[in-house]
Structure 1
Amino acid sequence: MELIERINTLITRDHSAFSKFYIVSAEESIETVETYICNVPPNVMLVEKEHVAVCLKIQIGSGIGSKRSGYLLLDPGYHVSRVVTIMEDKSYPHTGCFVQEDSGKKKKEYEYIVTSPDYVSWNVTETKSDYQTGWTNLLFVGRPFLSGIDFAERRNLLYDFKSILQRDCKGQLLAGLYFSTNPKKAKKVTLFYMENNNVVYKHQNMVELFVDNPDIQLCEEQMNMKEGELLQMLNSIGTIIHDEDFITQSAKINKEIWTISRDN
């Protein structure tokens, strides 16, 4: 929503794209694409929306027989550092397949294709140690997504893996932290930051009261946080993780959601 507001401040009111950008919804790892895209709009009792992006419908050409349709997609939430152009005919200026992430250990490639008048397929290919896997996510572009809190944010609150990341303008990781809220795994928090052009990982015990140290300070600096802000955040995390009743209930609800998702 903030991204759309910023875009609208950069273009004039008489521009054809003004107020035409809208939020689209995504569901990940779709096993039966052909069946799924028959649902227009998606059945709210069956879908599990996990992500949103910003979209603009476009048309190139104006003459009879020369009109070409497509979409512009902006997806900073998945650290895509470009505007992706998705043409129905897959011709220029169609973006096509591109490398979204390449850390040396893992390479991830994205390709967006118009699958139907209402859906865009978001094909992901991941390569680790020469082993390649792939899956398809689907973006419903037929109508604006208006229920972000109901269908996306509430579910994300219960995911048992949390991360706070700082990336460069191309989406590559620079610094951050991650941890698990799973009662069986919530023993450590991992900080990482750049040192001599390499990523350094530092594991710290998950305690209720953290003590400031050089690793926290370096991570805080590279995350562009204020002095003492990261330490305060870690202490809040530590307090929450040590609330056994809350963590146990959260894990139970998360497991139930996974079960519902699997059955769907």
Structure 2
Amino acid sequence: MASPDQTLEEFFPKYNPPIRAHKHTCVGLGMEVMKRLRVLEQDFPGLSRAMMLVSCDENIEDLADYASLPPQAFLIETEKDHVMLAINVRIEGRSGVFLSDLGYHVARVVTAMADRCYPHTGWFTQSDEPHCRKEFNYQVTLQSPGYVEWHERETRGAAVKERLSLIYVAKPYLSAVDVTEKRNLVWDLRSLLARNAKGHLTAGIYFPVKPRDQQFTMFFSSNSGKQRKKLKFETFLELQKIPDEVVDEVEQCNDQLKLRDGELLSMLKKLATIMADQEYMEEILAINAKVVELSMAGQ
């Protein structure tokens, strides 16, 4: 937005996204957990060399077709829109992989054994909210041990929706910043979330990126229980005109996100200004659409 001499489409390919401390996407979280786990090297020699970031393609249409081809066959057509930490292991000759997925707030290290026997984790409940329960399962693909299948089952009332993603664990993923981090800059769903030690959501904001009818959902806990509010971005264009009740709710959410005083309100003001620039928003959505179209062509 600060480059009036070029469009976002011209600027985006040349931009090298930084990994900012305390402002992590899945890429930064993966790097952070690798850094912290290195303190275990003395007790577990070789751990540092064994750790690696691995790539994940979400929403796989055809498991057999995808897993049967080498990764280089998808150099252009895949999104590689998620990363996590992996450690390949052998337990008495049996192969498996440890997975740490902080990007999806999985509050455990998952074990996926190739033979799916102990200590294989199997299905577990990732989150269980009144309106939605999510269950995950990670298992090594039988057709190709270089891949781990990530199955997600989401239950809302009587409706059950399932999703399949594939994680490539045979080799480290070396393009996490210039591919995945960069791809996620134009993702059309944004969020800032806080979770407890078990991975349960406690507070945050999230919203779809749209050129019109722009609003976000804010949730937090109050004296009267959990609160979930839908607010329009235009409400935050002028700070002095924001209703006192809304300011109070934003401050409660701010505290539960463990942000500095007034940081969330300032952030929402900046977001409101950005979202009000319709030309800029259309450019972002156009780039995202091209990435999606390219990946769908490969499937």
Q: What amino acid maps onto 2:272 in structure 1? A: G
Contact 2:96 2:112 in 1 (8 A): yes
Query: Displaced runs of 4+ in structure 1, greater than 4 A?
Result: none
Contact 1:209 1:238 in 2 (8 A): no
The separation in 2 between residues aligned to 1:11 and 1:18, in whole angstroms, is: 6
Structure 1 residue 205, shift from structure 2 partner: 2.3
Match of 1:209 in 2: 238
Give me the identity figure in percent: 36
**When the two structures are aligned, how many residues end up with a matched partner?**
258
TM-score (norm 2): 0.82
Aligned: 1:53 with 2:80: no
Instruction: Specify which of 198, 209, 225 is matched with residue 170 of structure 1.
Output: 198
- Give runs of aligned pairs for residues 85-164 of structure 1, distance below 5 A: 85-115=111-141, 116-164=144-192
Q: What amino acid maps onto 1:58 in structure 2? A: V
Q: What amino acid maps onto 1:232 in structure 2? A: S
In structure 2, do the counterparts of structure 1 residues 153 and 225 end up closer, same or farther at CA, with 3 Å as the change threshold? same
Aligned: 1:185 with 2:213: yes
Structure 1 residue 125, shift from structure 2 partner: 1.1
Higher relative contact order (CA 8 A, sep 6+): 2
Query: Which segment drifts farther, 196-205 or 231-240?
Result: 196-205
Q: Structure 1, unaligned stretches of length 5 or more?
A: 62-66
* Root-mean-square deviation over aligned CA pairs: 1.7
Aligned: 1:44 with 2:75: yes
Structure 1 residue 196, shift from structure 2 partner: 4.4
The separation in 1 between residues aligned to 2:238 and 2:208, in whole angstroms, is: 17
Aligned: 1:258 with 2:292: yes
Contact 1:12 1:18 in 2 (8 A): no
Deviations along 1:99-156, one digit per CA (max 9) or x if unpaired, are 1111121111111111122101111111111111212100000110010123212221
SS in 2 for 1:252: helix
TM-score (norm 1): 0.92
Match of 2:32 in 1: 2
Contact 1:40 1:118 in 2 (8 A): no
Match of 2:60 in 1: 30
- Give runs of aligned pairs for residues 62-101 of structure 1, distance below 5 A: 67-101=93-127
SS in 2 for 1:18: helix
Q: Structure 2, unaligned stretches of length 5 or more?
A: 1-30
Q: What amino acid maps onto 2:221 in structure 1? A: M
The separation in 2 between residues aligned to 1:127 and 1:105, in whole angstroms, is: 8
The separation in 1 between residues aligned to 2:291 and 2:263, in whole angstroms, is: 33
Aligned: 1:225 with 2:268: no
